Structure 1
Amino acid sequence: MPNALVVFYSLDGDVRFLARTLAKELVLDSMELELVKPHPTHGFMKYFKGGLLAATGATPPLRPLAHDAAHYDLLFVGTPVWNSRPTPAVRTFLKSADLKGKRVAFFTSYGDNDVKTYRVLTSLVPGAKVVGHIGFKLPLKMDKEQCSADLVRWAKDLLNS
């Protein structure tokens, strides 16, 4: 079984729930990305700033990382979808990590859809092999047990391939 890391950013908790479930069920290391200057969590600015930063491709600085991606063969990267794009924190991580030769799989949480998000995520990991992606519509509001089961089954397939 490959040495794998779960890397994620979560503002409202959906991706955090998915990532922690994945790490716990498959006994994987995990790392939550944290911005040096936290993103607004309430009100108009939460959506306006988030959407604007995602659309412009912003890469705000992250707090020091708990794990070095270079030590892993496979990375599961989780992000909410903001304005049809990955979050700025995930963009920063992907642009700064050397993932050449690594296997990368993406999981998302979205309110509308995540079709464009995968194209953007894939473009951020040149030299890596994107081995899969899966998305969940509002897992904490919909069926979190089913989302968890689908995520773990998907990840197990990737780990065993």
Structure 2
Amino acid sequence: MDDRQLKKLVLYYSLEGNTEFIAENIADKINADILKLKPEKEISTHGFMRYFWGGKQVVFKEKPKLFPFDKNPDDYDVIFIGTPVWAGTYAPAFNTFFDTIKLKDKYIALFCCYSGKSSSTFENMRKKLEGNQILGEIGFKDPLKYDKEQNANKVRQWAENIISKIKK
């Protein structure tokens, strides 16, 4: 399959802009559509309590109500999925996504942004994405804080390599 015929989507959630920065660089490099998961009720990005409320959502496996999607992930061949790391795993918006959308037979690439480490994020996402071909994963430590240009170049090269892995 010619990579120009592949329908590509970058699907992500971002609270503070790090994951959005990475997602936009991927979409720009591989000419992909973007779908941002948007909870109807978002936690504050300021103050220590964001860690408390975010951690609580993770621990209790909460499924925040999301605004309707403007794109259907089932319509795409290749999906790049990105999340910030919250309490060692993916953000709660993905609990809702994985519960409502059952992706199958897709080419998937995973990315995350973190302040500490990626922990079990990719492992947990892989479990939710069984039945798909995972082509790669990459993590970024605070990409807006540490050398934005270098991180942009790194993810653009990675995205291009992911697309090149798909058999023509």
Q: Same fold (TM over 0.5)?
A: yes
Instruction: Report the AA paired with residue 77 of structure 1.
Output: I
Unmatched 5+ stretches in structure 2: none
2:8 alignment partner AA: A
> Does the 8 A contact of 1:5 with 1:28 survive in 2?
yes
- Cα deviation for residue 128 of structure 1 reads 1.7
Question: What is the aligned residue count?
Answer: 161
The aligned residue for residue 119 of structure 2 is 115
Q: 1:49-68, aligned counterparts within 5 Å?
A: 49-68=53-72
Q: Distance in 2 between matches of 1:5 and 1:105?
A: 10
1:47 to 35, 45, 51: 51
Structure 2 counterparts to residues 32-111 of structure 1, below 5 A? 32-111=36-115
Q: CA RMSD in A?
A: 1.2
The equivalent residue for 2:11 is: 7
Tell me the TM-score normalized by structure 1.
0.94
Quote the offset at 1:142 in angstroms. 0.4
Contact 1:78–1:107 (Cα < 8 Å) also in 2: yes
The 2-side partners of 1:128 and 1:57 are apart by 23
Please list every run of 5 or more consecutive structure 1 residues that lacks an aligned counterpart in the other structure: none
Match of 2:161 among 136, 144, 157: 157
The alpha carbon displacement at 1:90 in A equals 2.2
What is the one-letter code of the residue matched to 2:145? K
The 1-side partners of 2:69 and 2:36 are apart by: 8
